[in-house]
Amino acid sequence: MHAIMLKAKLHRAQVTHSVLDYEGSCAIDGDWLDLAGIREYEQIQIYNVDNGERFTTYAIRGEEGSKIISVNGAAAHKAAVGHRLIICAYAHYSEAELASFKPHVLYMGADGELSHTSNAIPVQVA
């Protein structure tokens, strides 16, 4: 049996560009893609924290160090500059792989900078 699990997440990434007249996709700073383990052209799910929109597209590599998050094409209707996004990639894992499975999570600060990374999602206690 295989399970579909969260592979990587950029938590609260800030949209820097929203370009309607583009072929599509989401450009992400290449350094962040590498840290998260997301490949160029890999399918990603995007959840807009500010307006509740959820959509699927693919990642394209932005210039390293640019801090770019550019939502392009039709998806530009779903995210504006300044919006906060949760960007996720998922993968299929075998039971054997699940024994050591940990997602790569990048947490972004209010200033659009990378705050910290983790290989586990913290559990919040009420």
Catalytic residue among 22, 47, 58, 107: 58
Is 27 labelled a binding residue?
no
Domain count, the chain: 1
Q: Which CATH number is 61's domain given? A: 2.40.40.20
E strands within the chain?
Answer: 2-14, 17-19, 25-29, 43-48, 54-62, 69-72, 84-94, 104-108, 114-118
CA distance 39 to 62: 12
pTM: 0.90
58 catalytic per annotation:
yes
The predicted-structure confidence for 73-105, as pLDDT tens digits, reads as follows 999 999 999 999 999 999 999 999 988 889 999
Which of 39, 58, 56 has its CA nearest to residue 48? Answer: 56
Inside any domain, residue 115: no
Inside any domain, residue 3: yes
Inside any domain, residue 119: no
| Residues spanned by the domain of 14 | 1-106
25 catalytic per annotation:
yes
The predicted-structure confidence for 50-74, as pLDDT tens digits, reads as follows 999 999 999 999 999 999 999 999 9
